[in-house]
A and B are shown apart, each in its own frame.
Chain A
């Protein structure tokens, strides 16, 4: 799980062009939206695309996004449970 969390942090930084943020700046349990990284809904869209592209995951219920993208850890847990490609 820790390995995936680190990989995911790098991918999120790259996908969202978070230029001033390093892997160490991201607490895996901190909220991604609102406080924490302060992402917005276009960023949420980018995260969906990241899951599709890098992990072959398609989210079935649009309302699930809020839970899945709560933090890096919740994303990693969702990926572990649903991954279709590596």
Chain B
């Protein structure tokens, strides 16, 4: 029997709020985090909206208890705050004997600080201490230091599937007997570099994004971080933590169709979802809710929509993209949407796909447009598809049901 992977903690910070409780309140109150850009110093301010964490860097540092310390990028601070929430909930500090891993997805790393000081790097030596925090792994190391983790750690950068791949990788390490538990997820602060990159690709919507809508016109970016605590059953017997749910399936398929686009028929998305479903041993009709990647681009929603049709054929589950709430959190999207999907499981709620009005003529289904309460939600699938065709799908199941 392969080891079971149990979820026993979660933490999140995003445009929806600075912890789980605020996130739930924003979601259930249908409050989107997508607004005019306030914090990021960009020429696109006022032109494209985004979902920013409401705290400034100084406020984030204070919230993390790191006020006055230098060398912490916004990206690291977001990761520290979300991982701390999950870590404290699972009381992992109390169990020194367990082999705890930290697997963090990010692409920004310390880029947010380095782009601020780029001119200084060229002209003087006043900000050179920031050069060392540029790479992605710096944010992971900062999180590990903060939480006092000294064991295995690694950083995963597969663009928009990074955090989902971090969760999948953690589960594989645990099944292979290399770790007893893990903190896995991702962090991503908004930067000029990636907002300009998406702008250059002409896939940023100036309006609130409209996934799966015939009139969809691109992405709203978002920032934040989210982490899960995963434990094996053996570790759980030691921690005694309440099990929130179980990670029963995951799949990754890299279709390598194009640098940034998915294949129109959604081959990679289909393969990732199929692998996850097969691993979980469930029939497609047992999936109650799909938290779609649903970015709001022409390409993704068509491709993902066709992949969903191909896998689920007659009976398409409830589908929604929660990116109109959070914005597209890129490397943190996979874990943020895992947390949001787990909230759906825990409270039997289907989150709506905001801003939808016109069905796509190419698809046989429409997303859920209203918040649905008191639905039996036992099995959720969450999709995260990255540039380069790096597609990942995760499946979470209510614990203790058959």
Contact = CB atoms under 8 A, between A and B. Distances in A.
B335 to A, nearest CB: 16
B11 A41 contact: yes
Given A40-B88, A40-B89, A45 B21 contact: yes
Contact of B21 (A41, A52, A58, A60): A41
Interface in B226-252: 242
Interface string A46-86: 01110010000011101101000000000000000000000
A9 B23 CA distance: 25
Contact of B89 (A41, A49, A59, A62): A41
B19 A49 contact: no
Interface residues of B, number: 21
Nearest to A69: B21
Contacts of A17: 242
A1 interface: no
Interface string B5-44: 0000111000011011111111011010000000000000
B29 A63 contact: no
- The A contact surface, by secondary structure, is helix
B85 A41 contact: yes
B21 A65 contact: yes
A44 B19 contact: yes
Given A60-B29, A62-B25, A44 B347 contact: no
A44 B28 contact: no
Contacts of A45: 20-21, 24
B29 A58 contact: yes
A42 B29 CA distance: 18
B29 A59 contact: yes
Contact of B19 (A41, A52, A60): A41
Contacts of A58: 28-29
Contacts of A49: 24, 347
A62 B347 contact: no
A47 B25 CA distance: 11
A42 B28 contact: no
B88 A48 contact: no
B21 A44 contact: yes
B25 A59 contact: yes
A62 B10 contact: no
| Residue with the greatest number of chain B CB neighbours at <10 A, chosen from A40, A58, A59, A63 | A40
A42 B25 contact: no
Interface string A10-23: 00000001000000
Interface in B186-205: none
Given A45-B24, A59-B25, A65-B21, 7 more contacts: A40-B88, A41-B20, A48-B25, A49-B24, A58-B29, A62-B22, A65-B25
Interface of B: 9-11, 16-17, 19-26, 28-29, 31, 85, 88-89, 242, 347
6 contacts: A41-B20, A41-B21, A41-B89, A59-B29, A62-B25, A62-B26
The 3 closest A-B pairs by CB, nearest first: A62-B22, A44-B21, A62-B25
Interface of A: 17, 40-42, 44-45, 47-49, 52, 58-60, 62-63, 65
